A and B are shown apart, each in its own frame.
Chain A
Amino acid sequence: MIHFSNVSKIYENQTALRNITFSVEKGEMAFITGPSGAGKSTLLKIIYLSEKPDEGSVTIAEWELSKLKESSIPFLRRNIGVVFQDFRLLDNRNVFDNVAMALRIRGMTEYDVKERVMEVLKTVNLRHKTDSFPKALSGGEQQRVVIARAIVGEPTVLLADEPTGNLDSDTAAGITRMFKEINAKGTTVLVATHNRELFRNTGRRVIKIDNGAIVGEELG
């Protein structure tokens, strides 16, 4: 589903990724871990086309990203749900509208939007916060809004960048459980985190990177 082949990314004078090669299979749930600055976010950004690799090639499903027409990018992105490390919630819109946005850009009718958003907000346990604004939510609640927005469009791939941030371990465990459920329904899930708690005892593949390079792989 996701295939990196000798991918490197160099920012001005900082090498963020060196010669990365790995694959994530369809329906798999895998983790990427490494210390801060290792290149986890950069790797995910390449997948959702927010950054372009300087070397190597990346294939998502059957699409070779470098050969993708720019006008097709939106349609690929609709198949990739992203939990952004910095959330990217819209402060001037309430929880409902933030989640609904992912469906509205697809041109879904307001009736269907409402039904689907309410369903997802129930999944992430935020039905009671529908009308709240992001600034009025706790960190964990905001995190769950971002997750809701990422999964509301039923993407084939879910990318989560540090989805538990600095949440307490109970809340973190709840979020991991949620990802497992999503994965169980067939979505390919790739989680980037420096938090070992998240993949301990999951039995899933963990790709370890440091200083932009893959330094090992283990089972969680």
Chain B
Amino acid sequence: MYIMYSLKLAVQSIWREKWINLLSVLTIAAGLFMITLTFFSVYNMDLATKKLPEKFSMMLYLNNDLPEQEAANIISTLKKNSAVERARYISKDKALEELKGVLKNADYVLEGINENPLPASIEVKLRQESVSISKVKKLAADIKKIKGIEEVEYGEQFLNSIHSIKAGAQTLGLLMISIMSTGVIFVCYSTVKIMFYRRKEEIETFKLLGATRGFIRAPFVIEGGILGIGGGVVSLIGTAALYYTLFYKLALAMPIFKIIVFPSEVFIALPLVGLTLGISGAIIALGRIRFS
């Protein structure tokens, strides 16, 4: 196989045009760095919203005349749903008691009310891991249809706005990532194209000696790949430095940064993404190789 020789040609070519190649690596690194930042923002936003408590509890207000036995039936139905962690019945009296507990010394506001105005209710806790915003909405709609339930209350408005912010951020992030990826591919494409034209004479001679397409392409594809990996590694260093600064330095002053999560997969992903983009750019740059 000629692959060892192709590798040698690729390394030679990179060394011979080291400044152009260095510039490419830095440009690729900048692109990948921005891709990573975008990804981190969307990823962390996603993580943060997953932990919002509003998502995990619902209050089901019951009809005033619903017997307690019926409420128990509803609870056992609810518990069959895999998203439900627990469900607790709160009677009218219990509700009033809890309200008094909340009001403490201000319970005089309740004076003069002789009939308990609070409805009986069921408090539902949902399982954190298995619940998305759209699932919660669907569950709420389903529950509302159950006979005996007057109203379902959960942070609908709040969840809706979080949902649309998240969706917007994701779309924007995806768009950013696509644009940046195209940019990185383009940088590899141009670099390989330049290298290819510099060696046009030589390649013509290779062809006349009987070189296959694979032999002609391999050094350039390898070169594109090396540039990509190089860019990936440099951007990784940048990302790690940024993370270190945020997490260990800035977080001392602003603890909010403590919640940022840095998935370790990035260490493998960045060079791999660079490699893929680099090879793609090189393959596009080489196009179809003709012999006659």
Using CB atoms and an 8 Å cutoff, list the residues of chain A in contact with chain B: 48-50, 52, 70-71, 73-78, 82, 84, 88, 90, 92, 101-102, 104-107, 110, 149, 153
User: Are A105 and B206 in touch, CB under 8 angstroms?
Assistant: yes
Contacts of B205 in A (CB 8 A): 88, 90, 101
Contacts of A84 in B (CB 8 A): 208
User: Are A52 and B292 in touch, CB under 8 angstroms?
Assistant: yes
Contacts of A52 in B (CB 8 A): 292
User: Are A102 and B213 in touch, CB under 8 angstroms?
Assistant: no
Please tell me if B102 contacts chain A, counting CB pairs below 8 Å: no
Using CB atoms, name the residue of chain A closest to B3.
A107
User: Are B292 and A74 in touch, CB under 8 angstroms?
Assistant: no
User: Are A74 and B210 in touch, CB under 8 angstroms?
Assistant: yes
Give which listed residue, B1, B202, B215, B291, contacts A73 with CB less than 8 A. Answer: B291
Please tell me if B5 contacts chain A, counting CB pairs below 8 Å: yes
Please tell me if B80 contacts chain A, counting CB pairs below 8 Å: no
* Bound CA–CA A75/B215 (angstroms): 12
User: Are A70 and B206 in touch, CB under 8 angstroms?
Assistant: no
How many residues on B have C-beta within 8 angstroms of the other chain's C-beta atoms? 20
User: Are B210 and A106 in touch, CB under 8 angstroms?
Assistant: yes
**How far apart are B217's CB and chain A's nearest CB, in angstroms?**
13
Given A90-B205, A105-B206, also A49-B291 (CB < 8 A): yes
**How far apart are A58's CB and chain B's nearest CB, in angstroms?**
12
Contacts of A71 in B (CB 8 A): 212-213
Given A104-B2, A105-B215, also A77-B292 (CB < 8 A): no
* Bound CA–CA A75/B213 (angstroms): 11
Please tell me if B104 contacts chain A, counting CB pairs below 8 Å: no
Please, could you name 25 A-B residue pairs with CB atoms under 8 Å apart, sorted by A? Answer: A49-B291, A49-B292, A50-B208, A70-B291, A70-B292, A73-B291, A74-B210, A74-B211, A74-B212, A77-B208, A77-B210, A78-B209, A78-B210, A82-B208, A88-B204, A90-B205, A101-B206, A102-B210, A105-B2, A105-B209, A105-B210, A105-B211, A106-B2, A106-B210, A107-B2
Please tell me if B144 contacts chain A, counting CB pairs below 8 Å: no
User: Are A73 and B292 in touch, CB under 8 angstroms?
Assistant: yes
**How far apart are B13's CB and chain A's nearest CB, in angstroms?**
11
User: Are B291 and A74 in touch, CB under 8 angstroms?
Assistant: yes
Contacts of A49 in B (CB 8 A): 291-292
Contacts of B212 in A (CB 8 A): 71, 74-75, 105
**How far apart are A142's CB and chain B's nearest CB, in angstroms?**
14
Contacts of A153 in B (CB 8 A): 210
* Bound CA–CA A76/B291 (angstroms): 12
Contacts of B1 in A (CB 8 A): 107
User: Are A90 and B202 in touch, CB under 8 angstroms?
Assistant: yes
Using CB atoms, name the residue of chain A closest to B290.
A70
Given A52-B292, A104-B2, A104-B5, also A77-B202 (CB < 8 A): no
Please tell me if B166 contacts chain A, counting CB pairs below 8 Å: no
Q: Which of B3-41 contact A (CB under 8 A)?
A: 4-5
